[in-house]
Amino acid sequence: APCPTPCRCDGDGGADCSGKGLPAVPAGLSAFTYYLDISMNNITELPASVFRNLPYLEELRLAGNDLAFIHPEALSGLQHLKVLMLQNNQLKTVPSKALKGLHALQSLRLDANHITVVPEDSFEGLLQLRHLWLDDNSLMEVPVAPLSNLPSLQALTLALNRISHIPDSAFANLSSLVVLHLHNNKIKEIGEHCFNGLENLETLDLNYNNLLEFPEAIKALPNLKELGFHSNNIAVIPDGAFSQNPLLRAIHLYDNPLSFVGSTAFRNLSELHSLIVRGASMVLRFPDLNGTENLESLTLTGTKIDTIPASLCEDLKLLRTLDLSYNEIEELPSFQGCTKLEEITLQHNRIKGIQADVFRGLASLRLLDLSRNQIRSIHKDAFMSLTSLTNLDLSSNALLTLPTSGLGGLNQLKLAGNMDMKGSLSAKDLQKLRTLSVPYAYQCCAFGGCDAYLNTNPDQGSKSDGSRKKIMYSPGEEVCEGSVAEDEGERIQLAVHCSPPTGAFKPCEHLLGSWM
């Protein structure tokens, strides 16, 4: 089969003439060519009937040329064309006349041109078109009339344009549409019925726009599974916001100046797996999550919530991560029903005490952050069932002592900032500890925190009398490898990174006298 230079043909109907600096469509291609790639050349226009000898063409790639004009008859005869790629060119309008005869076309790429005009008759006759890219152009409005000619369209992107408003019934005839991308426009307001007709829509992307109000129009989208409106200017998520979208799996709403979230906004979303709401500063009550039983990750921070409902773990049995930091929570319910919980973050609240049953039954919990609260007391059995806990942060509280039963598996413990906790800790209860922060340096001594006077020569191996060898990690950071065994037979090698480190002015010996 003929294959004009500089093209490469695969002998099976495929011809690749891309990136060859061609000024025009090469002549002399086989009549049986079904795939032609002439992208990344210097073709500025397509004259009439330029593909008349390629009646079997199914895929035509013209991306990355300098196409500014396509003759109305340029694509005539391409009855079998399914894929047409015109992205990354210089088109200012949709070549509506040229597209008219492409009855088999399924995918049309017009992205990254300079299109400001979409003629009314654009896309007429394209009854098979399923995927349309119009993103990264200069559209000022949704091309409502042209889009009404596309009964088979399933995926549409109008992202990266200058659309500022979506009128009612903008997509009314697009009953097959499944994906709609509108991100990175200037959309400030949308009609309350602008999504009417989109009963099959599953993905709606409104991210990076200027929306001031919650898009109530989503009520027309019963099959919506993924909704994005992050990076807008929305302050309020109303009650019942998603009541008509029971299949929602993901909601991306971060980077909005949220101040209020209706307490019933997230009810009955049984497909939702993750919910992240940050900084809704005027929210007073914990949201009602009844019926949202498959939630695995809940982040709700920066509110005025002071109480966690006792029924939380009846509703959310599958919860694995819970972040309720930076609220005003004073008391904790029992999380007993949330048996799959792995991470709980409650830092920066007003918690005063931990009862015996708060963390009962949480055998999967690995990380617990209770820092920056006002915790004075912790029930001695509070950590009893936390057999998987490795990371506990109780720093900056008002603790006097720490109950250590159940903490045998810890490798990181933070207690700094509990200035009333002056007693020493028992190393034998915390044998797997690797990192420890304590209120006072002398408390490091129980974990091999050595005194600078005892061992000055780092190269000395550990002496037969069991005294300690000093290893310098980096200037100022001392870690001591040594034995803290109490009886002769048992020798626990413990490399604990303990802070604040003991040093010249805070030797271990002067345990009883305070150098404060």
Partner 1 sequence: HRQNPGVSHGCQGGCATCSDYNGCLSCKPRLFFFLERNGMRQTGVCLPSCPSGYYGTRSPDINKCTKCKSDCDACFNKNFCTRCKAGFYLYKGRCLESCPEGLGPNDQLMECTTI
Determine, following the binding rule CB under 8 A, whether residue 130 of this chain makes contact with partner 1.
yes
CA dist., res. 110 & res. 94, Å (int): 8
The residue type found at 487 is D
The footprint of partner 1 on residues 287-326 (CB under 8 A) is: none
Binding mask 204-233 for partner 1 (x = CB under 8 A): ---------------------xx-------
CA dist., res. 99 & res. 155, Å (int): 18
CA dist., res. 342 & res. 368, Å (int): 9
Say if residues 365 and 344 touch (Cβ distance below 8 Å): yes
Binding mask 464-483 for partner 1 (x = CB under 8 A): --------------------
Q: Which is nearer to partner 1, 137 or 443 (CB)?
A: 137
Determine, following the binding rule CB under 8 A, whether residue 40 of this chain makes contact with partner 1.
yes
Determine, following the binding rule CB under 8 A, whether residue 61 of this chain makes contact with partner 1.
yes
Q: Which is nearer to partner 1, 133 or 359 (CB)?
A: 133
Determine, following the binding rule CB under 8 A, whether residue 255 of this chain makes contact with partner 1.
no
The residue type found at 242 is F
Pairing mode, if any, of strands 297-301 and 469-474? Answer: unpaired
Binding mask 84-103 for partner 1 (x = CB under 8 A): -x-xx---------------
Q: Which is nearer to partner 1, 184 or 395 (CB)?
A: 184
Q: How far is the CB of 144 from partner 1 (least distance, A)?
A: 22
Q: Which is nearer to partner 1, 60 or 316 (CB)?
A: 60
Say if residues 153 and 135 touch (Cβ distance below 8 Å): no
- Interface pick for partner 1 out of 164, 200, 401, 412 (rule CB under 8 A): 200
The residue type found at 91 is L
Determine, following the binding rule CB under 8 A, whether residue 16 of this chain makes contact with partner 1.
no
Which alpha helices (H) appear in 100-157, and where do they start and end?
144-147
Say if residues 57 and 32 touch (Cβ distance below 8 Å): no
Which residue from 225, 288, 281, 232 is spatially nearest to 262, judged by alpha carbons?
Answer: 288
Determine, following the binding rule CB under 8 A, whether residue 13 of this chain makes contact with partner 1.
no
CA dist., res. 337 & res. 185, Å (int): 44
Q: How far is the CB of 65 from partner 1 (least distance, A)?
A: 9
Q: How far is the CB of 474 from partner 1 (least distance, A)?
A: 29
- Interface pick for partner 1 out of 1, 8, 10, 19 (rule CB under 8 A): 19
Pairing mode, if any, of strands 83-85 and 59-61? Answer: parallel
- Tell how many helices (H) and how many strands (E) occur in the chain: 3, 31
Q: Which is nearer to partner 1, 150 or 445 (CB)?
A: 150
- Interface pick for partner 1 out of 13, 26, 64, 228 (rule CB under 8 A): 64
Looking from the CA of 295 toward its CB, the CA atoms found within 13 Å total 27
Determine, following the binding rule CB under 8 A, whether residue 202 of this chain makes contact with partner 1.
yes
Lookup: tokens for 74: 């340029």
Determine, following the binding rule CB under 8 A, whether residue 170 of this chain makes contact with partner 1.
no
Say if residues 218 and 194 touch (Cβ distance below 8 Å): no
Say if residues 193 and 167 touch (Cβ distance below 8 Å): no
Determine, following the binding rule CB under 8 A, whether residue 179 of this chain makes contact with partner 1.
yes
Say if residues 407 and 381 touch (Cβ distance below 8 Å): no
Determine, following the binding rule CB under 8 A, whether residue 6 of this chain makes contact with partner 1.
no
Q: How far is the CB of 181 from partner 1 (least distance, A)?
A: 7
CA dist., res. 110 & res. 118, Å (int): 11
Determine, following the binding rule CB under 8 A, whether residue 201 of this chain makes contact with partner 1.
no
Determine, following the binding rule CB under 8 A, whether residue 378 of this chain makes contact with partner 1.
no
Write phi, then psi, for 414 (nearest 5 degrees).
-120, 120
Q: How far is the CB of 112 from partner 1 (least distance, A)?
A: 4
Q: Which stretch binds partner 1 (CB under 8 A): 107-115, 120-128, 272-280, 337-345?
A: 107-115
Query: Residue 157 in 3-state DSSP?
Result: strand
Residues of this chain that interact with partner 1 (CB under 8 A) are 19, 39-40, 61, 63-64, 85, 87-88, 107, 109, 111-112, 130-131, 135-136, 154-155, 157, 159-160, 178-179, 181, 184, 200, 202-203, 225-226
